[in-house]
Amino acid sequence: MQRKILLVIGLLAAGCLSGQTITGDAQTDIRALRGLSDADYMHTALDFSLQYSRQGRWELADELLDAAVTKGRRSGGRAAAATVHLAYVEELLACCLSSGGAETAQRRATTSLAEAYDLDRDGVLTTRIKNYLRQLNARTSAPTVLTAIFGLADAIDPSGQLTDELRGSTHTAVEQQQLVSQSAELQSAVRAKEQEVRSLSLEAARERALAEYHKKVADSLFFVGLIDSLRAVQQEQALAEQAATIQLQESELALQDARSRTMLVVIISALVGLLLVTGFYLQSRRLNRRLKAEKERSEQLLLNILPKDVAEELKTTGQVEPRFYELGTVLFTDFVGFSAIAKTLSSDRLIK
């Protein structure tokens, strides 16, 4: 087992850099590893992972690291896979713990140490894992990273000695960091005082510039207020015009409605008048026909009673001039049964 581990360590150390460059696509990079020997495969995959790590492309770095670990486990077992994780941690400690993504790199290194500890069932790599934990602990102040480090230390050494050691060194590092921070603050304060002394001669100019600035701000505010007032007046005018337009439209609608009602009344009145005139005309025609019939009947009766010339004179003048007749005959007669006959006949029939 130790020979396999030493072989893997030697192979990884011999080819720290493969000379190949990443493509930006993890699957393309993994396909490029096909056909390589196990050692070259692990080398190149680990190198690709480190290149992505330096660029802060952690998801791609994880895919290539997983490929290297898988190849190590297939070729050398769990311990070989753990050794790949430790090689990755060593390179992270060398390249990435002081860059912009230092905290992310610290978390990845802690995760790889935990993976190596889980794979190292025989405890062959425990000493190396502890040493890397000490290095990480000395170089981080991130609470999440420290929590992960202390948790892994408790798992490695349940007695708590390793955790106490790490916590103690953390406190020392924190104190040193505080001293450095205080020193930096003092230096900053000194520089500020020096700058204040140098700027005393410029205070008057600054005050004048500040006064000018405030004046410009006031003028700007005045013009802004004036513009707002003009906009408000324009809006009020627009609203007034809109209200006048609406009122005019309503008046036009009311006038049209009144005209429509007047026209309807006129039409109805005309129809009623036409109906009345038509009724009067028809009634007059019926009355004239009746009068004509009565007149004709009267004339006929008059002709039955009087001679024609007498009847015409009576119709024309309304009276008859007396006439002298030298000779005349008067006939007196009595109709037998006249009363009985008269009861059964109309007056016209009786006269005829």
pLDDT digits (tens, 9 = 90+) for 318-348: 777 777 667 766 656 666 777 777 778 776 7
pLDDT digits (tens, 9 = 90+) for 32-66: 888 899 889 998 999 999 999 888 899 999 999 99
pLDDT at 115: 92
pLDDT at 182: 57
Distance in angstroms (rounded) separating the CA atoms of residues 22 and 60: 10
pLDDT at 5: 46
Distance in angstroms (rounded) separating the CA atoms of residues 294 and 302: 12
pLDDT at 189: 66
Question: Would you say residue 172 has pLDDT above 60?
Answer: no
pLDDT at 268: 93
The band of 81, judged by pLDDT with boundaries at 50, 70 and 90, is very high
pLDDT at 214: 78
Averaged pLDDT, 260-285: 90
Q: At what angle do helices 143-156 and 102-119 cross, to 10 degrees?
A: 10
Averaged pLDDT, 282-305: 82
Question: Would you say residue 98 has pLDDT above 80?
Answer: no
pLDDT at 179: 46
pLDDT digits (tens, 9 = 90+) for 204-237: 677 777 778 777 777 777 767 777 777 887 888 8
Distance in angstroms (rounded) separating the CA atoms of residues 133 and 89: 10
Question: Would you say residue 175 has pLDDT above 60?
Answer: no
Model's pTM, two decimal places? 0.47
What is the sign, positive or negative, of the torsion defined by CA atoms of 258, 263, 269, 275?
negative
List the one residue out of 129, 164, 135 whose CA is nearest residue 150. Answer: 164
In degrees, to the nearest 5, what angle opens at C-alpha 324 toward C-alphas 322 and 325?
A: 135
Question: Would you say residue 19 has pLDDT above 70?
Answer: no
136 vs 207, which has greater pLDDT?
Answer: 136
Using DSSP's 3-state secondary structure scheme, residue 151 falls into: helix
Q: How far is CA 245 from CA 9, 78, 250, in A?
A: 91, 88, 9
- What are the helix (H) ranges across the chain? 2-14, 26-32, 38-54, 58-95, 102-119, 126-139, 143-156, 161-199, 203-305, 308-317, 338-344, 347-351
What does the domain layout of the chain look like in residue ranges? 2-158
**Averaged confidence pLDDT in the chain:** 80
The band of 197, judged by pLDDT with boundaries at 50, 70 and 90, is low
